[in-house]
Structure 1
Amino acid sequence: MKFSDGNWLTLPGFEIMSPVQAYDPRAQEKAVSVYASPRDLEPRWAMLDVPLLTVRLSSPMEDVIRVSVHHHKGGAPLKPEFQIHEEEGVPVETGLNEEELWLQSGNLKANIRRGGDWGISFYKGGQRITGSGLKSLGYITREDGQNFMRDQLDLGVGEYIYGLGERFTPFVKNGQSLDIWNRDGGTGTEQAYKNIPFYLSSKGYGVFVNNPGLVSFEVGSEKVSKIQFSVEGEKLEYFIISGETLRHVLQNYTALTGKPALPPAWTFGLWLTTSFTTNYDEETVMSFVDGMKERDLPLHVFHFDCFWMKPLHWTDFEWDEAVFPDPRGMLERLKEKGLKICVWINPYISEQSRLFDEGEQHGYFLKNKDGGVWQWDRWQPGMAIVDFTNPEACRWYGDYLRELVDMGVDSFKTDFGERIPTDAAYFDGSDPHRMHNYYTQLYNKVVFEVLEEKLGKGEAALFARSATAGGQQFPVHWGGDCSANYDSMAESLRGGLSLGLSGFGFWSHDIGGFESTAPADVYMRWAAFGLLSSHSRLHGNQSYRVPWLFGEEAVDVMRFFTKLKCRLMPYLFGTAVDASKLGLPAMRAMVLEFPEDHGCHTLDRQYMLGDSLLVAPVFSEDGQVDFYLPSGTWTSFLTGEIMQGGSWLSEQHSFMSLPLYVRPGSIIPVGAVEDKPDYDYADGVVLHIFAPEEGKEMRVTVPDTKGQPALTVAAVQTTGKLSVKVEGAGARAWKVLLRSSKQASSVEGGITESTDQGLLVMPNSGVTELLIQY
């Protein structure tokens, strides 16, 4: 939201009160505070008829500083609020002298200038990273009586801003006006399903605005050297988040708002859906499932979209008996084929649903201000919305989910949750404007906790579309309604990378696009991208997405990349474990892994899959792709070709290939199973070692399917000798493949054979340490 008319004037209808003086500064043991005055208060007359802003700095955890500002504090507390995970006993230093009031937490320091030149500055390791200067902080009144709070933080020369949710607009947010307001706008507009009031800076810090309602950002778009954020009301609170690197900043942000749960291993396999408005019954479903098996296409999850329920009855959690006369038996038959089951749900209840009268009678729906049920005809006729602030409504809604789990359902696609009204009343008195974005948090939490209760901790997984800050705790999320073309494929990736830089660990998208039907080339290129994403789903709108409908070559492509993903599961699930523990995304924007390389700061058509694999999807029919390799010796995982980084490359790829490069000094564990994602990753694993760097230790942990360490591998090269140590192997078989060497002069503790890709070392039984000379 803009308030300025150029550099000097204010837009008509607004008045802005900005502080010029820090008055009565106070340094306490764990916090500092000051009154921010719009005029000099030294003359006693100046203390009359003066508004003040109260500014308080504190620290909820090390390397994080909270900035709390209010004009009038006496208003009733507003709900909901984000859950903030504060640490106890945070070591904080505070101080006060003639020039400044300051607070330091870890390597982050904030100071407030004393005297008549208002300003807050933030320092990381002694270097100023940003700050709020004269006329930046403000209390704003509009002629209609509406009030706002805003601050403007400095945007430095060459500084880039990322994140703010799953945004499909340009990856670097500089120059954009962005409203944090969940909307169902597809992937081709400025609207977003997942709006997160958190951004990352290329200068190595993050900012989280602690308000679940509408936060309006102007990223160099109102004042070109400022990032402005504004909220409605009398209070503003934000956190400056530091860390040694961008990775650490993201770790600190997710420590504050919640780490992603670890999805079950089976969710990383291929998902196939009925698509949305297609015709389907059990015969259709089984023809898809059997068709995949006949073509040797590994399939792991089958999803039933909306029409598993009767049209106009959504949501009633009741199988359409005219189409599925024996749902329990059908699910058992699908389970016998080794599949997990997901079904579509949403939190909207049609007036035709069997649930409507129950919900109305017991007060389980959002209400109009007159006490009646809030309804409209968008999506479903007479639709009501479940009120998840009512504990009894949560139990009621959850009981229907529990029945489905008992029937054999393993997961729920929690669709919608964006079109939440601002003129409705909530059971707990929540403010409807603040609930618009936050509603999805309650919705997904209820469903996720039912799955945890019924299936056990570690077995819950959603396929969710909408989210707000903290929603990363309930994975998995997917990118919403995209189109079947290369432009939409690229915009989907931009959205996923932005979401990853907003604290979300796991993300998916509709392979081949949702709207319309993709040409075969788009489908095949998207398949490679989709199966090198954290989660992989075939889904569409009016047409099916089984690969044989796109030609036999599409079948071959789908088979190759699905099997490749299964073989990579020891590496991918290790990446997932890191995501859940550290709060890092599985699919990482290049800037997150290589912040020191300015060539990576704007890249949005490639990404790192975990620490070590670089993926550059192909966005053209002819297979031409340009991508950037950071410095070092990179190896193609698919061909073994070695390339020196530090420059852009241009390659031509068939549909069975794409740039998939391994970071120098990496160990990639490759599994022995290619037809499913959940197996004993350590048994028969081949440890691919790429471009060892002299004296630098390489490490990797191969987890089991519960996320616990199964193998721990360490390797270090010194003067042509590679020492490899494997712990936890037990009686399991494992191999080492040195991908940067073609021959060995001697090997201790194993049997050696030469391969086209390098040196293969097969240890004798019980051997856990190898010395390879080459």
Structure 2
Amino acid sequence: MIVKTLSTFASWHVGLLTLAYGQNAVSWDLGAGFELTGSVRGLQIKDEQQEIWTATLPFVSASAGNDSVVGSSGSLDITKVDDHTCTGQSITSLQNVAWEGSTTRSAVQVSGLLQGCGDYETSYALTFWVPDDLQDRVAFYLDIAGSADTANPLKKLYFRYHSYENEDFYGLGAQASFASLKNQSIPIFSREQGVGRGDGPVTSYGNENGSFSGGNRFTTYTAIPSYISTDGKVVYLSEKSTALAYFDFTDPNAVSIRYDSLSVDGMFMRANNMFDAVEMLTAYTGRMPKLPKWVDSGAILGIQGGQSKVRSIVEEGLSLGCPIAGVWLQDWCGTHSQEGPYINISRLWWNWENDEALYPTWPDFVQDLRDSYNVRTLSYINTFLANVSTKPDGFRRNLYKEASALQYFVQNTTTNSTAIISSGPGLEAGIIDLTNDGLRSWFAEVITTNVWGANISGFMTDFGEYTPVTSDTRLANTVSDAFFFHNQYPTLWAQYQREIVEELELQGEAVLFHRSAAMSSNRYMNLFWAGDQNVDFGVHDGVKSAVTIMAHMGLSGYSQSHSDVGGYYDVLTYEGFNVTRSAELLGRWGEMAAVSSSVFRSHEGNIPSVNAQFYSNSSTYEYYAHNARMFASLAPYRRMILDTECALKGWPLLRHPVMYHTNDVRARQVCYQSFYLGPKLYVAPVLDPQTFELSVYLPGDNTYTHVWTGHIYSGGQDVTVPTPYGKPAVFLVGSASDVPELKTFLDFVKQENMTRALVE
């Protein structure tokens, strides 16, 4: 039989049918009300109500060449290589094929040829079906055969489909620099987000001498291959498709997925609105486990310095009326000094046992904080073990040496030893290999005994984005090479820690917060943290970026998030350019966190001695206490949302305005300027210095009551409101009478309006 192509010949083979050129298109039943239509122009999928997905020729391509990923210590730079890109596509057949896991036990397979791939052509198959466990969407699997050109084999595929100029896109993980992702090409690859990410001149310092530590607008700890559009369309790659991908929205009339392999799978769906879209997405990924209620009651104080200092700061805060839910003591494992410009930097010893100099009676201290003050304790762990041979105050176990001897780390085949990660002078570490069954058992015992054994209530579950991608990387038990495994690791890390929590039956107590995530990590973590921002007001890597990250994460299925109050990264240079935290930034960041976040937690920063701290003096502590009280006053309202809409539907607590106002052009372009906290509060945080009044855009046709003045405004306009310290622009949407859970917040507002203003 001669197979004729749709684009060239007058007829083409369709299963057992022949469709004459120019006749009506042929339709195929995919099941559950979905229909695939093939014509001489391309393909379309519809359900009974609307179009789901459309593609016109050419919609599949491939290319040769190996992408280059270079860098060190998690700072990775990607160079795309696209050689011998195929120039044409034909469709030769559509046919039913047997397919397990579909509603009909069959699928529709589109086959054809890719031409002009260098001097060769190759075949492809694109298969569609409706999953029997998720019958409101259409799954796809695209597979491209290799080429006959052994010198330049095909290495990656391209999958292109219809969009239009007015469709905007959100999600793809922790995107910090963009409102809508329209006009961008977004890489899906987890790595250090960088220091600056385009905020200058700090980025330039980070990228000096060929380094990539400054990052750019696309570098992120958490890149997730899923997006939601203003049309309610949802596209995601499956948990199995973990290679480097680019979601390209630069063509106003198309979306293109560039995937670094010759096969990929995922799903298309369309919801009635963006809320339903999030619910559909999280029906696949899973939803975040509930946060324990103890986090609602106040601040989690980030402190370092040992038992006496911690106790003193807690007692001072309580005397100032600061509600304290817990302390976060990342230095519980000890610190060492690392050389830096002007001043040495304090780094942690990644050896998961308490440091006997700083916390000599660690378990008793943790228990006493809880018994005496009702204050819980969080600690810190990460994916590394560091060599503590030079630790001056000693250690009980050198976990690095134990794991090295057992080959429990990710291995380097060139050196036939641990793949060493260097995080500056004096810090030599290995990454635990979560594919190694022996490691999983051994490390679970370490975590259970050394970490949870002190009756703590959780920890920062750091890193996840550092696994090397070089060809000499070896893993104990995976069919994927290191390049494919890299984007899997954050999910395995979150899953592993959740399994330990469940084994210990600590689900109602434990808080584990991560900055690195991947597809479906959200089903294992009950708190996302926006990572390490600069201690400044920057757009791409300062306080503003934290808001943008939380908004996109919410549309990626991560309903519960927060940031380090005050930021993390200080920058000190020999040239005199310095970035250190001001008291104003700390206070304004605290305001934002109080009215945006699931948890209120502060950080001292990477160089605490140069930063304003909440405990620096009575003024900074009083400002911090005010913000903590504001956070606590929102607890009934926030808990209602967390336990219903977040837990049951996957909807985010912090909501991008576009979710409510899909057709509002201005709402679509909001990055950090404003957001909804649940359905009844609209918030515009103060994110610039010396800003005591704020122009706020109020979208839609709602009524908005400015809580601090009582002034009522109609939607669809810009209004200017006062924003003295301690009073971010917060509006009640509609009436409060139908939300009694807001009473404690409105009582707080009334009480604070009767007291003196914070010192300006």
Same fold at TM > 0.5: yes
Say if 2:591 is the partner of 1:528: yes
Of 137, 158, 171, the residue aligned with 1:64 is 137
Aligned position for 1:215: 244
Say if 2:90 is the partner of 1:23: no
**Contact 1:340 1:410 (C-alpha < 8 Å) held by counterparts:** yes
Say if 2:384 is the partner of 1:348: yes
Letter in 2 for 1:32: A
Aligned position for 1:398: 444
Of 463, 466, 490, the residue aligned with 1:440 is 490
Q: Deviations over 1:287-339 (max 9, x none)?
A: 21112112111111111114633548842211121222221222122112111
Say if 2:430 is the partner of 1:384: yes
Q: Deviations over 1:395-417 (max 9, x none)?
A: 22122221222212110111111
Matches within 5 A, 1:100-115: none
Mapped partners of 2:735, 2:302: distance in 1: 43
Mapped partners of 2:463, 2:745: distance in 1: 42
Mapped partners of 1:255, 1:429: distance in 2: 27
| Distance change (3 Å), C-alpha of 1:313 and 1:175 | closer
Mapped partners of 2:494, 2:81: distance in 1: 40
Mapped partners of 1:13, 1:570: distance in 2: 57
Matches within 5 A, 1:147-166: 147-166=155-174
**Contact 1:274 1:285 (C-alpha < 8 Å) held by counterparts:** no
Letter in 2 for 1:67: F
Aligned position for 1:505: 559
**Contact 2:245 2:257 (C-alpha < 8 Å) held by counterparts:** yes
Aligned position for 1:568: 634
Q: Describe the SS at the equivalent of 1:462.
A: strand
State the percentage of identical aligned residues. Answer: 20
| Distance change (3 Å), C-alpha of 1:231 and 1:39 | closer
Aligned position for 1:457: 507
Say if 2:689 is the partner of 1:625: no
**Contact 1:528 1:557 (C-alpha < 8 Å) held by counterparts:** no
Say if 2:234 is the partner of 1:206: yes
| Distance change (3 Å), C-alpha of 1:203 and 1:669 | closer
Q: Deviations over 1:51-85 (max 9, x none)?
A: 32111111221321111111249xxxxxxxxxxxx
Q: Describe the SS at the equivalent of 2:637.
A: helix
Aligned position for 1:193: 221
Matches within 5 A, 1:311-330: 311=336, 314-330=349-365
Which consecutive unaligned segments of at least 5 residues does structure 2 have? 1-60, 64-79, 99-103, 198-216, 337-346, 389-396, 571-579, 755-760
Letter in 1 for 2:698: L
Aligned position for 1:245: 273
Letter in 2 for 1:615: V
Letter in 1 for 2:639: F
Letter in 2 for 1:338: N
Letter in 2 for 1:541: N
Say if 2:326 is the partner of 1:301: yes
Between the two proteins, the alignment pairs up a number of residues equal to: 598
Mapped partners of 2:150, 2:163: distance in 1: 27
| Distance change (3 Å), C-alpha of 1:270 and 1:464 | farther
Of 474, 477, 485, the residue aligned with 2:536 is 485
The Cα shift of 1:615 comes to 1.0
| Distance change (3 Å), C-alpha of 1:573 and 1:546 | farther
| Distance change (3 Å), C-alpha of 1:331 and 1:417 | same
Please say which of residues 353-362 and 486-495 is displaced more in the overlay. 353-362
Mapped partners of 1:11, 1:367: distance in 2: 27
Say if 2:601 is the partner of 1:537: yes
Mapped partners of 1:208, 1:141: distance in 2: 32
The Cα shift of 1:448 comes to 2.3
The Cα shift of 1:175 comes to 2.0
Task: Using structure 1 for the length normalisation, give the TM-score.
Answer: 0.72
The Cα shift of 1:461 comes to 1.9
Letter in 2 for 1:442: L
Aligned position for 1:559: 625
Which consecutive unaligned segments of at least 5 residues does structure 1 have? 5-9, 41-48, 74-138, 672-684, 690-734, 740-755, 758-774
Mapped partners of 2:350, 2:656: distance in 1: 37
Say if 2:338 is the partner of 1:289: no
**Contact 1:668 1:687 (C-alpha < 8 Å) held by counterparts:** no
**Contact 1:269 1:536 (C-alpha < 8 Å) held by counterparts:** no
Task: Using structure 2 for the length normalisation, give the TM-score.
Answer: 0.73
| Distance change (3 Å), C-alpha of 1:509 and 1:599 | same
**Contact 2:331 2:348 (C-alpha < 8 Å) held by counterparts:** no
The Cα shift of 1:186 comes to 3.8
Q: Describe the SS at the equivalent of 1:36.
A: strand
Letter in 2 for 1:527: G
Mapped partners of 2:193, 2:311: distance in 1: 33
**Contact 1:187 1:479 (C-alpha < 8 Å) held by counterparts:** no
Letter in 1 for 2:141: S
The Cα shift of 1:420 comes to 0.8
Mapped partners of 1:542, 1:447: distance in 2: 29
**Contact 2:92 2:113 (C-alpha < 8 Å) held by counterparts:** no
| Distance change (3 Å), C-alpha of 1:396 and 1:648 | same
Q: Describe the SS at the equivalent of 2:130.
A: strand
Mapped partners of 2:530, 2:225: distance in 1: 18
| Distance change (3 Å), C-alpha of 1:70 and 1:542 | same
Letter in 2 for 1:651: V
Say if 2:662 is the partner of 1:595: yes
**Contact 1:351 1:381 (C-alpha < 8 Å) held by counterparts:** yes
Q: Describe the SS at the equivalent of 1:463.
A: strand
Letter in 2 for 1:172: S
The Cα shift of 1:25 comes to 2.5
The Cα shift of 1:477 comes to 1.3
